[in-house]
Structure 1
């Protein structure tokens, strides 16, 4: 089972403030932080739970979390816990 964590993106065509998006870690990766770091270093594209795609470039800690990603994560948690 993959785990979710957060990475930052500035939304295209929206307000210029950055959002923190939640991503799933692929099953072939050790953990999500390592996956995001690898994506940042090698310029790999990530896909958030909300469907937004981007290449991570910044630390997500300072930015608000994408509400669509939070909703999707809550659904996943509810399904796993059920």
Structure 2
């Protein structure tokens, strides 16, 4: 169903969890995927690997990303 939507012009998707985003990527979805759930610092590498957009809802989320980048991590895509 998702590929049908994408093939007919859907340019972005939204999911609640990183697992759902990964599932869409593994199914071949190439459009933007926004993850609504709170950011999980332990899954930032996975979010970057699968090019998922993370929902940032608190200043502490930005600080976690800053620490992640300072430790050599690749900056994830984010939505404020």
Q: TM-score, normalised by structure 2?
A: 0.28
- The higher-RCO structure (CA 8 Å, 6+ apart) is 1
- Larger Cα Rg: Structure 1 or Structure 2? 2
